[in-house]
Homo-oligomer: A and B are copies of this chain.
Amino acid sequence: MKKAVVLLSGGLDSAVTLFLARSKGWQAHCLIFDYGQRHRVEIKSARCIAQSINCEYEIIKINLPWKGSSLLDQKMKVLQRESVGVSKCQSVKVIPSTYVPGRNIIFLSFALSFAEAIKAEAIFIGANAVDFSGYPDCRPEFYDAFRRMISVGTKAGVEKKRIKIETPLINKTKAQIIKLGGHLGVPFELTWSCYQGANIPCGKCDSCYYRAKGFKEAKARDPLVSMNRLTHVHPRGGHGLMS
């Protein structure tokens, strides 16, 4: 089986990406990052998603002492629906406070190192540039530039052993991603999207907004929301599902 490194955040998009990679015959090696994010609950989600399909994973701890983002700095506030208006427009107009400087570049650079070391042929990332918060490092042109960098800046690239960067969701709407995930059997109840670190999604941040919009447009029920209505506690958080 061909090996692939899959970046798994614990969110909906990366979970669909993992299931998609496996459905296409890739042997997935997940990378999960503990980078000081406010919503570190997503790390547990990521682990549960990987464990639910017996997929290998590594959790990489990263220290970014300079912060520079409301996702890292508890003194800053995550505003409500900061990027509304950017949706369905790949050009970046407003970059919200939740932007983490260099985040996807750092994540991909670790993935690249991992891929070279284990001789993986691809890196999968669930970046999306349609229903998204306007982060520059989620857009196709960034991934094209990263691909170019691999070809000239790595042993694999120089030796013409290709490491592909796969962004299968980049041009899909959130509704399309959710429908695809449904077909693939993604356990959406294990995923986490909310930027806030609380036990239940805030329903107000960018990430909650796009998730709710996606489920609504896909005419599907978000099992996480339904569960929370019943229990007020996330399924990973003490109900013995996959803690």
Contacts and interface: CB of A to CB of B under 8 A. Distances in A.
A152 B145 contact: yes
A117 interface: yes
A158 B95 contact: yes
Contacts of A105: 109, 112-113, 149, 153-154
A63 B110 CA distance: 10
A101 interface: yes
Contact of A145 (B136, B148, B155): B148
B65 A58 contact: yes
A236 B95 CA distance: 46
Contacts of A117: 64, 66-69, 101
A118 interface: yes
A104 B154 CA distance: 9
A66 B146 CA distance: 21
Interface in A59-109: 60-69, 92, 95, 99-106, 108-109
Interface centre among A67, A68, A103, A141 (most CB of B within 10 A): A68
Contacts of A104: 153
A60 to B, nearest CB: 6
A39 to B, nearest CB: 18
A66 B158 contact: no
Contact of A102 (B62, B109, B159): B109
A149 B149 CA distance: 8
Interface string A146-167: 1011011111011100000000
A64 to B, nearest CB: 6
16 contacts: A58-B66, A60-B63, A68-B113, A68-B118, A95-B155, A95-B159, A101-B117, A102-B109, A105-B109, A105-B149, A106-B106, A106-B109, A136-B157, A141-B152, A145-B148, A145-B149
